[in-house]
Amino acid sequence: MSKPSLARGTRDFGPEQMAKRNFIFDTIRRYFQRYGFLPLETPAFENLSVLMGKYGEEGDQLLFKILNSGDFSSKLEEKDWNEGYKPLTSKISEKGLRYDLTVPFARHVVMNRGTLAMPFKRYQIQPVWRADRPQKGRYREFYQCDADVVGTDSLLCEAEIVLLLHDILPELGITDFTVKINNRKVLTGIADLIGAQGMEGPLCVAIDKLDKIGKQKVEEELTDRGFSENSITLLAPVFDLSAAKDPFLALKNWLGSSETGMQGVAELEEVWNLVDKLGLKNPKIELDVTLARGLSYYTGAIFEVKANGVQIGSISGGGRYDNLTGTFGVPGISGVGISLGVDRIYDVLEELNLFPQNQTTSTKVMLSNFDRQAFEYGLSVLPKLRLAGINAELYPDSVKLKKQLDYADRKNIPYVVLIGSDEMGSGLLTLKNMKTGDQEKLSVDDIIARIA
C-alpha cells in the first residue's frame, strides 16, 4: 500500500492556517461589496475553446487539460499518436482547469450581456490552476481575488481602485505600502519618441527589470533586443522621471511631441485629481513610468502594489483593458480591474506578525462531560450558547477531566464550563479561563454575558 502524498504544487491548509486565510478573504470580500461589486463564480473547468489562445503560447502549455470521459482513445488512429502532443491533445481533451478568473469572466459577460446591468461590477474569489514548475512562492493551485468594472471608460473606476486598496490593506494590517501606477499609452509614447515604434513590448520587458538588475544591465538587455545606441540614449530620462520633483511636468516636457503619450499623461493626472476629490488623505500612490506588467493585455492604467519592508514581490496588480470580450466576438467592452494575491498577502502578514491573535480561535467555550447526567445537562446548555452567537461545543465522551482540558488547550479554546453534581444542583456552573486558570461560579446567562 502506497503512502498518501500531495500533488506537487498544491497544499493542505489546516484549521489554524484557514482561520488566517479566512480573515484575509472576509476582509477583501467585505470591501469589494462596500464598493458595489457583486459576487460571481464560474466553473473550475472550461471548454478548451474558451481558454486556448488567450494567454499566449506559454500560457497554453501551462493549462491543465482534462482527458475526455470514457474510452477517449477508441477513435484514434496510429497517425494521431504520431502527430505530436499538440494535435493529439485536441482529440483527447475538450476541457481544462481555469488558468485565471479574467477569461471566464469575459466569457460570462458575453453570454449574459443582454441581462447584465452595465456598467457591471463583479468580484470573484476562487482558485485557479497552472501547470507551472513548483517553487517557493509559486504553486500549481492558488487563489485569486479579482474585482472588475466593465462597460465604462470612466476614470472614476481607476480612482476607486486606489481607494479600495487604501481601505483593504490597512484593514489587514498592512499600512506601509505603495500603489505604483503607469499607463500603457505613456509607454507607447516613449517607444515612439525614441524611434522604436511598435517595439514597446521588448522595451518594457527590459525596463520593468530596472529595480532588479539596475540601469546598466537594462541598457545591455535593450542592446541585445535590437535597440539602437541612439534609441537607448534618448531613453535616458525614463530612469530619473519617478524621482523628479514634479514627475508629471517632467513627463509632459519629454513626451510633448507624442499625442498618444500625452493622452496617457492626461489620464494619469485625472486619476490623481479624482483620488484627491474623493477625499483620500495622504495617498500612497506613485507614478512609475517603468511599470509595464501585462503589457500585451492592458491598454490604459497599470497598477502594482508593493508591501514595503519585506522581500516579497507585488501583492496586487491590475489595469485597464479596452477589449475584454473581443476574443469572443463582442468587441469594444472596456473594463478595469484589480487582483489581490492572497498567498503573498498571507506571507507578508506572517513575516510582519500582523495576523490578529483571535484568528486562530474557532470554538470559544467547551462544556465538560463527566458522566451521563452531566452530558444530558450540557445538552440543554449548548443550544443557549450557540443561540447567543457563541461558538460552543460539548465534549462527546465521558473521560477524565485532564483529557478534556488537554483537548481544549490543544484547540486554543479560551473557556471551559465544568458541569458537576454541585453545578447541576445549584444552577451555577464553573467557568474556567484556560489562559489564566481562574474559575468562577456563574449562571448560564452570566456566562453568556461574560463571553459574548
338 within a domain of the structure (yes/no): no
354 within a domain of the structure (yes/no): no
304 or 298, which is more confident?
A: 304
184 annotated as ligand-binding: no
425 within a domain of the structure (yes/no): yes
**Separation CA 208–CA 202 (nearest Å):** 10
| Region of residue 309 (left: phi > 0; alpha: psi -120 to 50; beta: else) | left
101 annotated as ligand-binding: yes
Which pLDDT band holds residue 135 (cuts at 50, 70, 90)? confident
Ranges 109-118, 180-189, 210-219: which has the least confidence? 210-219
- 3-state secondary structure at position 112: helix
**Separation CA 356–CA 297 (nearest Å):** 37
Q: Supply the pLDDT for residue 385.
A: 97
Torsion of CA 200, 203, 206, 211, to 10 degrees: -80
348 within a domain of the structure (yes/no): no
71 annotated as ligand-binding: no
**Parallel, antiparallel, or unpaired for β 120-129 and 141-150?**
antiparallel
Instruction: Report which residue type is found at 362.
Output: S
Task: Report the number of distinct structural domains present in the chain.
Answer: 1
Torsion of CA 249, 251, 256, 262, to 10 degrees: -100
Q: Supply the pLDDT for residue 27.
A: 97
Residue 56 has pLDDT above 90, yes or no: no
Q: Per the structure block, which three cell numbers stand in for 329?
A: 466576438
Report CA 203 to chain centroid distance, whole Å. 28
Residue 446 has pLDDT above 70, yes or no: yes
Where do the H-state alpha helices sit in 182-293? 184-193, 200-207, 210-224, 229-234, 247-255, 259-277
293 annotated as ligand-binding: yes
Please tell me the pTM assigned to this model.
0.86
100 annotated as ligand-binding: yes
Q: Supply the pLDDT for residue 360.
A: 65
Ranges 26-40, 156-170, 217-231: which has the least confidence? 217-231
Q: Supply the pLDDT for residue 192.
A: 87
85 annotated as ligand-binding: no
382 within a domain of the structure (yes/no): yes
**Residue 398 domain boundaries:** 361-451
**Separation CA 166–CA 330 (nearest Å):** 34
Digit-coded pLDDT (tens) for 18-55: 999 999 999 999 999 999 999 999 999 999 999 988 88
Instruction: Report which residue type is found at 46.
Output: E
144 annotated as ligand-binding: yes
203 or 337, which is more confident?
A: 337
- 3-state secondary structure at position 238: helix
Q: Which of 140, 165, 157, 154 is nearest to 6 (CA)?
A: 140
390 within a domain of the structure (yes/no): yes
Residue 45's DSSP bridge partners are 97
210 within a domain of the structure (yes/no): no
For residue 2, what is the DSSP state? P
Query: 440: part of which helix (H) or strand (E)?
Result: strand 439-442
Whether the Cβ atoms of residue 262 and residue 252 lie closer than 8 Å to each other: yes
In angstroms, the Cα distances linking 187 to 53, 201, 214 are 25, 9, 19
433 within a domain of the structure (yes/no): yes
Digit-coded pLDDT (tens) for 243-299: 778 889 989 999 988 999 999 999 999 999 999 999 999 999 999 888 877 656 788
Mean pLDDT of the chain: 90
Q: To the nearest whole percent, how much of the chain has pLDDT over 70?
A: 97
**Separation CA 399–CA 230 (nearest Å):** 83
Whether the Cβ atoms of residue 165 and residue 316 lie closer than 8 Å to each other: yes
Q: Which of 227, 181, 222, 168 is nearest to 37 (CA)?
A: 168
Highest-confidence range of 240-254, 288-302, 344-358, 362-376, by mean pLDDT? 362-376
Write the CATH number for 404.
3.40.50.800
